Amino acid sequence: MKIKEIIVVEGKDDTVAIQRAVNADTIETNGSAVSPVTLERIKHAQEKRGVIIFTDPDYPGERIRKIVSESVPGCKHAFVHKRDALPKSGRGIGVEHASPGAIRDALREAHVIEDEQVEIITKDDLIDAGLIGHPKAKERRIALGEKLRIGYTNGKQLHKRLMMFSIQKDEFKYALMEIIQEEENA
């Protein structure tokens, strides 16, 4: 199952659990202190593809859910039952302990949309644009991340981030043209 929306989770272990269950992109809040940068990335994701908030069924998870949904209206919500989020051994409760089936059930209940994403921008386009393997590649990636509001990435992650935010080829080309003009005028 391919999920169109971007799923907001608490951490890396949650991302791993989600990706075991479905084909989806995630944004990690890295705990309950959701940074302004993370909230801005979530807002942008909501504008581009939609967002599903999928946090742990505990107080910190509900706190994150509240912070994100107040800052980013219109998010969908997926909930895993506490009984499905308990670890086999040890303490804690969380999405990372849920089975792939429990995660898929929670996403079905959130009425997510399946989406077959077509690759719009190729890795060759990134090389041709001087974003990989070019003397100014890093500076161009920084500028591109700011212009497209997708954040900075290294060369390996840039393609994934462009796909994650459904950046269209014409939007990509326009931003790149502005960056090159700014380089020439500097």
Q: pLDDT tens digits for 20-60? A: 999 999 999 998 889 999 999 999 999 999 999 999 999 99
Position 115 in a domain? no
Q: pLDDT tens digits for 126-135? A: 999 999 999 9
Position 114 in a domain? no
Domain final position from 85, 109, 133:
109
* Domain of residue 174, residue span: 123-185
Sign of CA dihedral 159, 163, 168, 174: negative
Say how many domains are in the chain.
Answer: 2
Does pLDDT of 182 surpass 80? yes
Dihedral angle, C-alpha 122, 125, 126, 130, nearest 10 °: 170
Q: Are residues 131 and 181 in the same domain?
A: yes
Does pLDDT of 116 surpass 70? no
Q: Are residues 83 and 139 in the same domain?
A: no
Position 116 in a domain? no
Q: How confident is the model at residue 98 (pLDDT cuts 50, 70, 90)?
A: very high
Which pLDDT belongs to residue 161?
86
Q: Are residues 29 and 96 in the same domain?
A: yes
Report d(CA 9, CA 13) in Å as an integer.
Answer: 9
Q: Which residue has the tokens 């100014």?
A: 136
Which pLDDT belongs to residue 112?
64
Which pLDDT belongs to residue 6?
95
Q: Are residues 10 and 102 in the same domain?
A: yes
Which pLDDT belongs to residue 71?
95
Structural contact between residues 140 and 179, judged by C-beta atoms closer than 8 angstroms: yes
